[in-house]
Chains A and B, each alone.
Chain A
């Protein structure tokens, strides 16, 4: 596995509304205090698509747009990896409810929003980007598996890559079955080319390696409350601009060790 370089970071979470604010909190310069994210109108989306974009898609866009804002790459240049454990549970809930009625009338907009790659599809339209795009799911390991996919796209196929990991809490009654505590979106622009920010190196470990945790109890609660928030230990290292290593949950019986060397 070759090194990867982090050109830009974006975030969208309650109390961490953008990377600049989040970095301050993660460096310990400001306390973490939860606050609802204001509604987000994706700036890049054409009106037709913006009308149809769900809360899930908007969360992914918010994080992605935050990263693109400070990236040296244009959104249209980047291959994409969209990682979400659940994708659109509110849409799933509406379709499940509709199918439980005698008429079984599924909304066509709900149906096209129900695909796991909906956010990726909207993004390619918004960015005018025809590059490869992968959408995947790996339960609580989605950030690590998405990062590995992005790293492979960079190393093997030579792409600069936008990685977006995002999940929102499901409505009841699905929420009881997958109780995420909050919305969380994180985005990174990654490149195989040196000279673009912090270097990271990835190593797969077996399950005996223990996961990194957040020292701050509120941030630790956030980390375990949403699969995308499993990125927080890495985000903290990036915010602190210091060398170090963190271990994130991987899929199967694996863990992902990420070493950071600041630019």
Chain B
């Protein structure tokens, strides 16, 4: 495909707000995960919580107030992103910049609270604004309003691949002429639905998540928001070289153990980029830290790349931020390109000998030209993104 450039990006997660905080945490090998409880949740787990979300949104944004939108706004305020979008509006017009946001649970925490506050009649509080908080589209509409854009907007919700799919969706929309440029992103915030839901599937670790570790036993849930500007290549920024999407057609909440869907997504991304596997310098794995995910992904990676391409999961730093995982890891991939640096799998102490891929146990500086980032979700939804400094 003709590459698009990623003119600007930003991310906010348990590592902090903005690119500098992320780079600092990555370089100093400081995890954002803590064995702390989220609100009054009593499950034994580690979480990657974002600080500074206690203030309600004010003014015109007050009707949209919920944890997810507080997180989205905090992220939008970093790295001069709002000003960059203002310049984009100038360049293309407000109606010609699309908005594509991935989320798995949107503002569900707001509905959880409303259910906890139900009156004796069973009714939800009158003040509960479902459309502007919990509805899946709310996050895309909120971001569109905050950025004063008026064109096409879509909320993509394919579980943990959501904010990877937005890159594919936005690329197609630009190519088809629905818009000239796009703001893509992902936002997912901590909530009881995912903590207790993943716990019900016995997928939450009481320990910090340890992707690719022999003793890994589940995920640590985090929260994050990230955004990027996608526009035609003007030679001024790193590129989205390819995307690849596939479906497992296997099981609703477990990956195909052979990793065929994962391999198909990676293969499609390589094909679109016109690159061979040996031209990829680093793979940012989905690497959730569950037995099944890491095993299946390893099968897919080894089938395509063999055992030599450096790879790691960065979820030991950030936790699994679900619908925002892909945008967060896209931003980390872009930091790898910018700083010629590869992150290790932070919490892996004993590499699982059954895994064949070249899991990095030490971070290192080296030339980095092409990075592949994987994201896989429930329902067997797979998406791989390929970023680079040029072909």
Contacts and interface: CB of A to CB of B under 8 A. Distances in A.
Contact of B155 (A98, A104, A138, A252): A138
A7 B180 CA distance: 30
Chain B interface, DSSP helix/strand/loop, else mixed: mixed
B20 to A, nearest CB: 32
B8 to A, nearest CB: 21
Nearest to B171: A156
A85 to B, nearest CB: 7
A111 B201 contact: yes
B68 to A, nearest CB: 14
Contacts of A204: 151-152, 178
Interface string B140-160: 110010000111111111110
A254 B151 contact: yes
A97 interface: yes
Contact of A104 (B99, B111, B171, B196): B196
Nearest to A145: B154
Contacts, number: 231
Given A124-B379, A152-B173, A173-B118, A116 B157 contact: yes
B175 A124 contact: no
Contacts of B144: 252
Contact of A117 (B116, B168, B377): B377
Interface string A92-125: 1001111110001111101111111110111011
Contacts of A207: 150
Interface in B117-150: 118, 122-124, 128, 130-131, 135-137, 140-141, 144, 149-150
Contacts of A130: 246-249, 260-261, 264
Contacts of A66: none
B192 A173 contact: no
A80 B246 CA distance: 11
A112 B378 contact: yes
Contact of B176 (A1, A49, A172, A251): A1
Nearest to A149: B169
Given A1-B177, A173-B118, A125 B251 contact: yes
A87 B154 contact: no
Contacts of B381: 117, 120-121, 133, 135
Given A118-B252, A254-B95, A86 B111 contact: no
Contact of B249 (A129, A174, A253): A129
A148 to B, nearest CB: 6
A200 interface: no
Contacts of A178: 130-131, 135
Interface string B210-242: 000000000000000000000000000000000
Contacts of B178: 1, 148, 152, 204
A73 interface: no
Interface in A222-256: 250-254
Given A130-B249, A152-B172, A153-B172, A251 B154 contact: yes
A95 B165 CA distance: 26
Contact of A111 (B122, B200, B245): B200
Contacts of B251: 125
Nearest to B175: A156
B152 A251 contact: yes
A170 B155 CA distance: 20
B201 A104 contact: no
B116 A138 contact: no
B197 A95 contact: yes
Interface of A: 1-2, 49, 52, 80, 85-87, 92, 95-100, 104-108, 110-118, 120-122, 124-125, 127-139, 142, 145, 148-149, 151-153, 155-157, 172-174, 176-178, 204, 206-207, 250-254
29 contacts: A96-B111, A104-B196, A105-B196, A106-B196, A108-B200, A112-B253, A117-B378, A117-B381, A118-B379, A122-B252, A131-B247, A132-B246, A133-B247, A136-B154, A137-B136, A138-B153, A138-B155, A142-B137, A145-B153, A148-B152, A148-B176, A152-B172, A153-B172, A176-B124, A177-B128, A178-B135, A204-B151, A251-B152, A254-B150
Given A131-B247, A251-B152, 16 more contacts: A49-B252, A85-B136, A95-B197, A99-B116, A106-B193, A108-B201, A111-B253, A112-B253, A115-B158, A116-B158, A130-B261, A137-B137, A157-B172, A173-B122, A204-B178, A252-B99
Interface of B: 95, 99, 104, 108, 111-112, 114-116, 118, 122-124, 128, 130-131, 135-137, 140-141, 144, 149-159, 165, 168-169, 171-173, 175-178, 192-193, 196-201, 245-253, 260-261, 264, 377-381
